Structure 1
């Protein structure tokens, strides 16, 4: 059988365990201190009772001598807090002023008001059976001892409470301090994941361990940012360098097409022109994708009426869907305003609907609708076509990702990639699912009320 191992996995759990163990140890120490002090006090009282009982009894347990000693002790100022009782074998009083209403047990014992001992509310008694058969009782008035014992207990409890508050407050302070730095790091990581490679962990200038860790993390981000910038610049430069000659090539092919009527190569020229247009569209899409992933378009964010924009896109694509033999319906479109780039949001909606048009057979029904959530809006496009296997969702979102479908147009493989990039630029998410049948594409976008 494997041993149980507890591994705290969060800062709160670690601090909670530390505070719990510290408080348990503190309670144990305080309890030990109280017990030692209490027992020492009782031991001192017992020592005094034993000494006084021995002095009263003497060496021979003579009743007359003991009576005289009791009378003398009762008049002594030093023993004013002591009470005595001497009884014979039958329990008849021989000497002393102590009047218990019921017998006290042999040996040492404590009693309170329930014992009904006249003149003593709280006491500690020593009862001895002497050799001559008589019984000697010596009682110490313990009111001051009980008061001191309560004071000692209250002091321990107050000290325990103050120490516990200090420890708990310190643990909360540590949790807040460390948690604040961790949240700052998490916000930076989330921003970098969202595409803001310029985000950095803020420093407080204390040069503490947290600051040094943040500086190291920021240096790593600087290096990653520089490498990504080099890659993007190189890719952008290559794209621009290729796009210019392609544009010139397209112009020459278009000129050839205008003068090629009746030429046997007419179809080949038209095909070359179409493929050149596809390449130019591909480069334009790549340039836009790199621009979106760079996060710079956030500077253009402004309030956008997403409901009105969805109706505009739906109206423009209605004819396209009908010409392609697809049914297109618009569901609920509530009035929703969010901050974003209106051109990118328009392209996101167009790509979602066109993806359904291009990758479904004629007769497919396509629906577009918006759902208002508490602090988000959900854009939903569904179709009742063949759908996509669940294990291929990531493939179609990935750049140049395509399903193997020879009977369908290849496309650029960037439609849903752009949708995903635009959603992430707006701090949203693209989720694909099964419409049973068909595909359900959902984009969740946050709303700042």
Structure 2
């Protein structure tokens, strides 16, 4: 699967249509799903479109703070070589908020890099394509909107007109969307200008929490990129209104967590839904079996940060075991209402902070695993899945990383180099996080120890 290069004509047409743009952010996405790249001047765009840009290979071994992790063994040992990157056709777009002087474009690496999350997803899509199957995918993202922090200090104070009382969440209500309508209008304006297929927005159950859905694409790589770019659009709109948006999985211990739900189906060569049946096809059952069987192996992808594990609590619509069921929001693998062409899975495990490239790749790896081995998923769960026995997911970070590191399923899907480096990268992040003594340590223990 070759990524189409931005053409000179495309770049020239953009400049003519956007005379007010002076700066273009060119970026790719690291292991954490964070955009990293370079800012180029308007006058240099044509040259970059012709020749591309260089990015160090160490961009794929960075922690969320932007530090290169030596423990991966891929920094000094490699000489930190450069990757040649090209600009991706169809992604050069303006950012129509603020002063209007900025635009953005996605970069992709020319040569295959075994650590590139986009490449990992492409491998899974191509694996299915060789069997005549095309994944159709869409991402849903939950996030919180808060007042702007000062001096980099993290706060979670709801904006004016939005309740900060978790006992009055206004779930599915409209008043709080009305209060933030200028911000929401700009989110959708950015998405429309940038070609992101946004669908509905709704008020979620935390103070200042919302969810935006994206429409399905018969291109899983593009669907994952939609999720990544939606995060950037939401954050840009928030900044333009003196607000902040966060996709942290659990920004407040007493408030609802934020998840990433992925909808997925498979098409055959004629465009027919391979999951459709009465009520589902045998192939869909195998796919469900593979997703169940591999779910714990990929937990380190669903929950990629220390904070993400705080989201897995009872009675929070976050399954802590690999259950599946029809029209049941308590399960990890939900089959929504709909049949025929609308038959699909809703994968409900990942936190909103996860990397959509890796989340979708992991789901597809589970699907391929189940189909190849004809794994039966067992009976569907009815009612509260928390009352039904099932192997638990590893909801402690160290346990999920150990499972990921030794998993044959992960190794077969992503390759041993990716498995090793991702494990080392996240173990280093975990160790650094856990060594910090917090105010809570002193509050709870200083006078009793």
Which protein has the larger Cα radius of gyration, Structure 1 or Structure 2?
A: 1
TM-score under structure 2 normalisation? 0.20
TM-score under structure 1 normalisation? 0.20
Query: When you count helix as a share of all residues, which structure comes out higher?
Result: 1
